[in-house]
Chains A and B, each alone.
Chain A
């Protein structure tokens, strides 16, 4: 029974839960890069009130160029850090806002940000 359970687990890891949107857990090359990344959703409108430079470091360090994600998936020096950097940036800010009892974005729930139908 245990072996069957672990086999079911393996199937779930490979295929995802039945009935779920197939794109939800599918990592694909996006934003012009070659590294596979999950779909994401982001709305500038939801972040009204935050200073632009909180996320857009290019506004202050003179690295202006293509849209942010393009560099972060093509530049070999930062592409491997994509997950750590964006999880750290987004989640730490959401946690801080939540702790201050202000409206905050998702703090833990994966699918809350990695929505398959809202590529940005």
Chain B
């Protein structure tokens, strides 16, 4: 049963904050530099997926919120896939960046997406119980794949140099990644697991994404 303190986390305050922080980070340098609505919309999907992944990485026992964590994971994966397909389907040039000779940041993005997909497949209930007989093995693998996905996604963003070209932005993103991946003791101070529904994820993502596109392409 949720208490008054749980209610704060249940409303998705942590997720909303992470979404806001990730999008705000892109505005610390060249805030009005836009590449057109198509480009920014596709990348807004990518940043939303990154924020969702960061939220999912928060080390906190999810005993009572595992199902919600699982469901949100599918939405994060769907957003990451949408980010990739948005460009593949809409820009015929971009496929060159996933062919032999492509730059490292694209391979890292693909690696992160595959790691995230594998993570979701291997954690799917109730199949998970058959694949992983021992919970400790599952937890180690799940955490390892999560870290791999986050590392791939983070390096994809940083090495592309489009939205986080300055070193303070890169340092802040690394700090956020570390804070969300580690820091178990700090997160343990929360009175309740940082929960969020898919609705909160999509609503905050829609608002942040819209601002991201509009500020970069309409603000003179």
Partner-B contacts on A (CB < 8 A): 2, 5-6, 8-9, 12-14, 16-17, 20-21, 24-25, 27, 38, 95, 98-99, 101, 106-112, 114
A-side contacts of B91, CB under 8 Å:
109-111
Residues of chain A lying within 8 A (CB to CB) of residue B121: 2
Asked if B93 and A12 make an inter-chain contact with CB atoms under 8 angstroms apart, the answer reads no
The 4 A-B residue pairs whose C-beta atoms are closest, nearest first, are: A108-B35, A24-B92, A20-B92, A110-B93
A110–B160 Cα distance when bound, in Å, is: 13
Q: How many residues of B contact A (CB 8 A)?
A: 28
Asked if A9 meets B35 with Cβ closer than 8 Å, knowing A17-B90, A110-B91, A110-B93, the reply is no
Nearest chain B residue, comparing its CB with the CB of A8: B85
Interface string of B96-130 (1 = CB under 8 A from A): 10110000000000000010010011000000000
- CB < 8 Å neighbour of B95 from A2, A16, A101, A112: A16
Contacts of B84 on A, CB cut-off 8 Å?
Answer: 9
Given A2-B121, A24-B93, A108-B39, 8 new contacts (CB under 8 A)? A5-B81, A5-B85, A12-B85, A12-B95, A16-B92, A25-B95, A99-B33, A111-B92
User: Which of A17, A112, A114 has the most B CB atoms < 10 Å from its CB?
Assistant: A17
User: A2-B117, A99-B30 are known contacts. Are A38 and B88 too (CB-CB below 8 A)?
Assistant: no
Give the contacting residue for B93; candidates A99, A107, A111; CB below 8 A.
Answer: A111
A2 to B78, CA, bound (A): 10
> How many angstroms from the CA of A110 to the CA of B39 in the assembled complex?
9
**A9, B82: Cα distance in complex, Å:** 11
Closest to A36 in B: B101
- Chain B residues near A25 (CB, 8 Å)? 92-96
A114 and B91 alpha carbons, distance in the complex (Å): 11
A-B pairs with beta carbons under 8 Å apart, 8 shown:
A6-B114, A9-B85, A25-B92, A95-B33, A101-B220, A106-B35, A107-B34, A109-B35
A6 touches B117 (CB 8 A): yes
Q: A6-B117, A108-B162, A110-B93 are in contact. Are A17 and B88 (CB under 8 A)?
A: yes
Using Cβ atoms and an 8 Å threshold, which residues of chain B touch A5? 81, 85
A109 close to B38 (CB less than 8 A): yes
Other-chain contact of A12, B36, B89, B120 (Cβ < 8 Å): B89
Q: Which residues of A sit under 8 angstroms from B88, Cβ to Cβ?
A: 9, 12-13, 17
Taking the nearest CB of chain A, how far is it from the CB of B165, in angstroms? 9
Within 8 Å CB of A24, what residues of B?
A: 92-93
Residue of A2, A14, A101, A106 with highest tally of chain B CB at under 10 A: A2
B172 to chain A, nearest CB (A): 21
Residues from chain B with a CB closer than 8 A to the CB of A95 are 30, 33
Q: Which residue of A lies closest to B35 (CB)?
A: A108
Whether B90 contacts A27 by the Cβ 8 Å rule is no
Nearest CB of B to A39, in Å: 9
Cβ-defined contact, B93 with A17, below 8 A: no
User: Judging by beta carbons under 8 Å apart, are A114 and B93 in contact?
Assistant: yes
